[in-house]
Chain A
Amino acid sequence: MKKSELIDELIERFDHMSVRDVETAVKIMLEHMTESLAMDNRIEIRGFGSFCLHYRAPRTGRNPKTGESVSLGTKYVPHFKPGRELRNSVNNALLSDLL
């Protein structure tokens, strides 16, 4: 599912809203989440999961083309941990596929 398809599904469920407002709503929500992580503020969505930043220690890497070593600084990368409800529903879907 792409963002545009998610927006289509939301438009069906919010038929009193204009297409433009639903698009804006999705944009605001994704921006809010991005902004939060950019400030190192975690996100906790009950049932769905949580997002936080993981620290990456500085390391020496290599340019794969030239083989030259380059030093890479400290880095933070976004991490998602699925919530129990999502984890179970996704896994139960697999189990029923197997039956």
Chain B
Amino acid sequence: MGCLTKADMADRLCNELNLNKRESKRMVEEFFDRISQSLINNEQVKMSGFGNFDLRDKSQRPGRNPKTGEEVLVSARRVVTFRPGQKLKERVDKKQSRH
């Protein structure tokens, strides 16, 4: 089985809800767009059960070009991190019994 994509998610919405194909696709797009927009506005996103998308501001630091070994300054940046929620962690962890 391939990885889960927006198309797969839209298909399921179409099958399980009274929503046509076009609107199902738009729903999936908007779902991720709203989350992205909140993060762009520097606002954390909390999806209870699933997890939190947090933002971290990092100050500039010295780094190296791994290819040349040359010293370069890594600029200040803002990054998105994901902290899985309890429910997601538990569901994923059950998988180890199958290994």
- A residues near B (Cβ < 8 Å) are 1-3, 6, 9-10, 13-14, 17, 21, 24-26, 28-30, 32-51, 53, 73-80, 82, 86-87, 89-91, 93-94, 97-98
Contacts and interface: CB of A to CB of B under 8 A. Distances in A.
A50 B76 CA distance: 24
Question: Interface residues of B toward A: which range?
Answer: 35 or more
Given A32-B8, A36-B4, A77-B92, A87 B30 contact: no
Interface string B70-99: 000000111111101001110111111001
A77 B84 contact: yes
A93 B30 CA distance: 20
B46 A1 contact: yes
Which 10 residue pairs across A and B have the least CB separation, nearest first? A80-B82, A94-B78, A36-B4, A78-B84, A1-B38, A42-B3, A38-B91, A43-B4, A82-B80, A48-B32
